[in-house]
Amino acid sequence: MRQTTGLREPELVERLGDVDALVVRSETKVTAKVLDAAPRLAVVGRAGVGVDNIDVPAATARGVYVVNAPLGNIVAAAEHAITLALAVMRRVVDADRSIRAGEWTRSKFIGNELRGKTLGLVGIGRVGTEVARRAAVFGMTIVAHDPFATEASARAAGARLVELDELLRTADVVSVHVPLTEKTRGLMGEASLAKMKKSAIVVNTSRGEVVDLPALADALAGGRLSGAGLDVFPQEPLPADSPVRGAPRTVLTPHIAGSTVEAQTNVAVDVVEQILDVLDGKPARFAVNAPRPPAEEAGGPAWIRCGERLGSLVAQLLDERPARLDITYAGSLLELDAEPLRAAVVKGLLETFSEQRVNLVNALAVARSRGLDISERREADAQRYNALLTVAVGKTEVGGTLVQGEPRVVFIDGFWVDVPVEGHLLLTKHQDKPGLVGRVGTLLGEHDVNISSMQVGRLHPRGEALMILTLDDDVPDAVRAKIRSFSDITAVRTARLGNID
């Protein structure tokens, strides 16, 4: 592990040739050039929430996870938003400067209380929700605007959802908690600020580009707005000629909303745990460019592994590269988000054929680039099981479920089976006749291929059957050819599931 700070792009590029994971804060820019310089890179961890400094599309195209820590500093950020609101409304900074200058002019610093005021939250996600809960303790009325929030989620946070115009007209404190997008860039500009009360204040702890600083400074100087508390800025550090530096009734802090001892610890732990998961081949909890895995209590990691193994198995049973993939979710599997399962199946399928790195980050993008048609169905009946995930390509179909929390292959080409998802497999289709199983076992033994388990599925006695042997070793090509030559054996396939040393 190498720890460095303050590196610019050329210096950073020189150090990434053998790096598997990269952890950055807000000042380090992870560009496409940086990513190209790190061929082994599997994951970029942002020790914080925002990932504006990371080229996420470039990382996704390269199959590099981008993870952040959206929960680690939400309390710190929420408390700082309240702190800024209080500092502006009670004129704390001005009063401090005055007393340090030897003055004692109490009448100059008569402030306003939060109690009885209306808080307008532009964005009521994780941080906005925490701000709402704290504002309620001060006796504030809370309204919120968020196109992605539901009435129920807002109500649970103690807020009422309104249109943005109503929020701007009625709020005494407007606190901004939105990500930076093309729609939110400059959101708090001249037009929005003009709709606010003259007695209102603006607080921004989200992204600097959301607030138009020249427009804000002009509104403050002209008395059209009462004050502002800002922790983030379009350009950081804040330039000396920034108009907001000289604006009256402002409290400015240097992007420290998430900077508490407790938050730093939480963020570090969250990011490191995710990096270790990615390097261990597990999905990340808070990947910004990969589907979020189902919850642990719903068997999430096990279902992801099941999907990957089913995709891998069906790919290894094919004679040609797939053009169409059919996925069926059945039974209680309908309660889970299909997106991570879909990505897991596609990952398992494509990594069999592709020399390109394929993982949950870029699996669907790689599928689109290869023209793979993906079709999905949802069925209430999971037949023999509580839940069943089925993957089909052409006439080849496999299914899996969780047995006591562990993934198992339970269906292959019309036969119900019970097969582990780790190890070497030998599959034969044959006519169910006495002696055939023994001949295959004897041949494998003669070539020192150890059988760990065996089962035979059949549709009816002495009819077509499927034999599946789980082996400790790979089957040599010569042995496989010999098995194929046995009378009554119509097909032989081998497969390798999981990471086998």
Same domain flag for 384 and 462: no
Question: What would the two tokens of residue 343 be?
Answer: 């990505």
Residue length of the chain: 501
Q: Amino acid identity, residue 154?
A: A
Task: Give the H/E segment covering residue 487.
Answer: none
pLDDT digits (tens, 9 = 90+) for 15-65: 999 999 999 987 889 999 999 999 999 999 998 877 889 999 999 989 999
Answer yes or no: is 41 within a domain. yes
389: left (phi over 0), alpha (psi -120 to 50) or beta: beta
Residue 356: pLDDT band with limits 50, 70, 90: confident
- State what percent of residues in the chain have pLDDT above 70: 98
CATH of the domain at 29: 3.40.50.720
CATH code, 363: 3.30.1330.90
Mention every residue, 6+ apart, whose C-beta is less than 8 A from residue 48. 25, 26, 68, 69, 72, 73, 258, 267
Asked if residue 133 and residue 108 are part of one domain, the reply reads yes
Instruction: Evaluate if residue 297 carries a pLDDT over 80.
Output: no
> 122 and 172 share a domain?
yes
Categorise residue 116: left if φ over 0, alpha if ψ from -120 to 50, beta otherwise.
Answer: left
Which stretches does DSSP call E strand in 11-55? Answer: 21-24, 43-46
Same domain, 273 and 309: no
As a whole number, the mean pLDDT across the chain is 91
Contact 469, 453 (CB under 8 A): yes
Helix, strand or coil for residue 38? coil
Distances (CA, A) of 380 to 295, 297, 385, 404: 21, 21, 11, 21
Partners of 80 in beta bridges: none
Both 64 and 78 in one domain: the answer is: no
Give domain status of residue 413, yes or no. no
Measured CA to CA, the distance from residue 300 to residue 307 in angstroms comes to: 11
Looking at the structure, tell me whether residues 89 and 218 fall in a common domain.
yes
Report whether 320 contacts 352 (CB < 8 A).
Answer: no
Which comes out higher in pLDDT, residue 177 or 287? 177
pLDDT(198) > 90 = yes
Stretch among 160-164, 220-224, 286-290, 383-387 having the lowest mean pLDDT: 286-290
Residue 257 located in a structural domain: no
pLDDT for 113-151, tens place per residue?
999 999 999 999 989 999 999 999 999 999 999 998 999
CATH number at residue 480: 3.30.70.260
Task: Tell me the sheet residues that pair with 230.
Answer: 204, 252
CA distances from 342 to 277, 312, 345, 368 (A): 20, 13, 5, 13
Q: Which residues are catalytic?
A: 207, 236, 255
Q: Can you tell me the distance from the alpha carbon of 51 to that of 288, in angstroms, rounded to the nearest whole number?
A: 8
103 within some domain: yes
Same domain, 84 and 224: yes
Do 79 and 68 fall into the same domain?
Answer: no
Domain count of the chain? 4
pLDDT digits (tens, 9 = 90+) for 213-262: 999 999 999 999 999 999 999 999 999 999 999 999 999 999 999 899 99
pLDDT at 500 over 70: no
Of 25-34, 417-426, 451-460, the range with the lowest mean pLDDT is 451-460
DSSP 217-245: HHHHHTTSS-EEEES--SSSSPPTT-GGG
Largest distance between two CA atoms of the chain? 105
Give the model's confidence band at 465: pLDDT under 50 very low, under 70 low, under 90 confident, else very high. confident
Mean pLDDT value of segment 159-163: 97
Q: Is residue 121 part of a domain?
A: yes
Give residue 482's domain range: 422-501
Q: Do 201 and 139 fall within a single domain? A: yes
Q: How many CB atoms lie within 10 A of CB 238?
A: 18
DSSP secondary-structure letter at 97?
H
Same domain, 90 and 183: yes
416 occurs within a structural domain:
no
Whether residues 330 and 468 share a domain: the answer is no
- Contacting residues for 180 by C-beta, under 8 A, at least 6 apart: 50, 52, 206, 207, 209, 210
**Of all helices (H) and strands (E), which one includes residue 397?**
strand 396-403
Using alpha carbons only, give the angle 15, 21, 23 rounded to the nearest 5 degrees: 85
In a domain, 4, yes or no: no
**What DSSP element (H or E) covers 331?**
strand 324-331
pLDDT band at 455 (very low <50, low <70, confident <90, very high): confident
**Same domain, yes or no: 175 and 314:** no
Q: Is residue 415 part of a domain?
A: no
Burial class from Cβ neighbours inside 10 Å (0-12, 13-18, 19+) for residue 176 reads buried
